[in-house]
A and B are shown apart, each in its own frame.
Chain A
Amino acid sequence: MPVDPQDLHADRGQEWRNELRASLSAKERSALPRVRMPELDARERSAGFREVNTGLSEEMAVREAKRCLDCAAPTCISGCPVNINIPGFIKLIEKGDFLAAARKLKETNALPAVCGRVCPQEVQCEANCVYQKMKKPPVAIGYLERFASDCERLAGDVVVPAIENRSPVRVAAVGSGPASLTFAGQMAKWGYRVTVFEALHELAGVLSYGIPEFRLPKSIVRSEIAYLEALGVTFERNVIVGKTITIEDMREQGYQGFFIGSGAGLPKFMHVPGENAIGIYSSNEYLTRVNLMKAYQFPSYDTPIVRGKRVAVIGGGNTAMDSVRTAVRLGAEKAMIVYRRSEQEMPARIEEVHHAKEEGVEFLTLTNPIEYIADNEGRVQQMKVQKMGLGAADDSGRRRPVVIAGSDYLIDVDTVVVGVGTDPNPLIPRSIRGLEVSKWGTIVVDEATMQTAVPDIFAGGDIVRGGATVILAMGDGKKAAAAMRDYLLKKPAGG
């Protein structure tokens, strides 16, 4: 969504902004060191599920905000998929008006407390910060985003906008991940009657079942849901669209627009021999047992999990890092990442890799499992791996791993987590007639409007992109809301 340069200009030209900018020279600002995020000590945090990053103090935040040069043509904004007015909110922090900063964020980002924690800022806004050109560490935009939104939440001062023009028109969102939540919030603000249908007993998609407590406390997710409820969004849990209810049924009930945000929840396995041995999990199962079902509190909670002593996690993305760091917290003595490319190619956020290393995780890169060996009860005991070398670059621009012949060896393991990615769940695409589906199982949409081949159905997030990011899912939800509103306004009444 392009930002209006004139709005930015007007915002920047306010009296107080000019004064603030003049109060310190660019040289002085850029001489300040980048703030460090305070975090729990690696040993202390590995024993439990408390949030690792503890957040900036007011003083730290204001100091970091001073580093921002309040550029006339802020390049960071172009790196943000939802084009947050970044200097706008940062200067409000420098001014000391934290609640206003939070509100400024919410103009464009419905879930800043979440994004401030999980966005890969190092490849988005911060990668485009002007400090990069000066060969200096960028402004800590993500930390500041988190700071402002935490201030608002902790102050209990969350403002729910009054809704003008309530419309009788009902619309539905399928799934309750970040794509649907953003869609729902936007439509509710415009006065539509929104119902979100979620298959699980808990809301928020990956934010609940995937990303662990130590990276994204569930209390934050819950307060975002409470905000949407206050906006008038209705949530229906335990409803599997396509099974419990179909889109047809909903049309009959009077729903006029649909947004599919059902994610990419189907785990991939590698189909190597022995992969069905006991103790081998998909990352989805491992993380769902722990995050959604609270298996880390077994037997106080009823869902069990194998608490391995020697755990290998296959993969190099955020899911793999979350799984391996979870294994550490469940008491693993040896927790390993096994990844077939080199560390440079790992898609995980740098912060996660760094935290995993601090927590004692071993990285076996250029290594790939080819077989699992079980004991006579069927429990995994060893894994056979082979070493890989790096060949020519593939389509993704990353160098392709190639097998080094004769390099196999065995590693003792009692738990393995396969975190090599997920595919879109075929349930929805299969259950709706007329949808266009790609060969990867994603739903095909018009990129400008997120509209599918069925006019009243829009889609976004991982069901359209395959495994992507929270902020991209949110951007899609917002774009779809705008396009659905146009669609509904143009539609002949009663049609």
Chain B
Amino acid sequence: MNKVVEKELLSENVVKLVVEAQAIARKQCPGQFVIVRTDEKGERIPLTIADADRERGTITLIIQRVGTSSCKITGLNPGDALADVSGPLGRPTHVEKLGTVLACGGGVGIAPLYPIARAFKQAGNRLIAVLGARNRELLILEKEMAAFADETIIMTDDGSYGRKGVITVGIEDVLKREPVHLAVAIGPAVMMKFTALLTKRYEVPTIASLNTIMVDGTGMCGACRVSVGGKTKFVCVDGPEFDAHQIDYDEMIQRLNTYKAEEKLSFDGYLKSLS
């Protein structure tokens, strides 16, 4: 059992939880994730470790409500406990001093991007953040990012904040203007796909962090498999980060839809159980 010690609403649908997990807090590195099960009947879902506090023995999770499991966990309050948290899983981000790093985050993808961007900044890179969201309400962690980024560019689909347009517009402006040595893209699969297409044209090496469906998170099942450079890889152990220019996004997007019908059934049941 892992106790929730803090909770904060970051936007209408995004919740930050600080959770006790002593051993994980001690071991985690940027880019790694945990597998969480809220209760005895719950699914095992992957969530990025957005931050950690070794002294307190806690990790921070930032969760977007999209279905049953994410709503169950974000429904917990300080004092409540998660049935299981295991990790840290996945390979840590390879962080080094390269020059200029472009950190591109879409939606809740900004949460996993945050510790990675900070690590690149701490390694001595010039860091430009480009953050995208559908509207102002849904933008998260802007202040936290801006606190260390050399420049922060905000894009919203409806123009309610920052500039109007999709995230790739903001990314391209930077690519046109100055040399970039690495781009990191984290967000919805479609956003990563188009970011990768764009950075490829500018020949900027790019990594994407993938959010496939998972079960165990330890390489035991293959639920998380993706094609990278024509080879099957397991996101939980070979990733979650891969060369963004080699990923078969279309296959990944299809696989994310495996349980569309079941997810709806489950969510309807969940909503009914609340009322």
Residues of A within 8 A of B (CB): 199-201, 237-240, 243-245, 265-267, 269, 271, 275-276, 278-279, 281-282, 284-285, 288-289, 293-294, 298-304, 306, 377-378, 425-427
Contacts and interface: CB of A to CB of B under 8 A. Distances in A.
Contacts of A271: 232
A127 to B, nearest CB: 32
Contact of A299 (B37, B88, B221, B269): B269
Interface residues of B, number: 42
B176 to A, nearest CB: 35
B41 interface: yes
Contact of A269 (B215, B222, B223, B237): B222
Given A276-B251, A304-B259, A304-B263, A284 B44 contact: no
A244 B258 contact: no
Contacts, number: 113
B135 interface: no
B251 to A, nearest CB: 6
Contacts of B68: 302
A371 B258 CA distance: 20
A214 to B, nearest CB: 21
B108 interface: no
B41 A276 contact: no
Contacts of B220: 265-267, 284, 288, 425
Contact of A267 (B222, B226, B251): B222
B243 interface: no
B77 interface: no
Interface stretch (B79-87, B155-163, B202-210): B79-87
A276 to B, nearest CB: 6
A377 B84 CA distance: 34
Given A267-B221, A282-B222, A200 B254 contact: no
User: Which residue, A238, A288, A298, A426, has most C-beta atoms of chain B within 10 A?
Assistant: A238
B12 interface: no
A377 B257 CA distance: 9
A377 B41 CA distance: 29
Contacts of A377: 254, 257
Nearest to A266: B219
Closest 10 CB pairs of A and B: A378-B254, A304-B262, A285-B221, A238-B86, A201-B84, A282-B222, A302-B43, A265-B220, A304-B259, A301-B41
B84 A238 contact: yes
A299 B266 contact: yes
Nearest to A201: B84
A276 B232 contact: yes
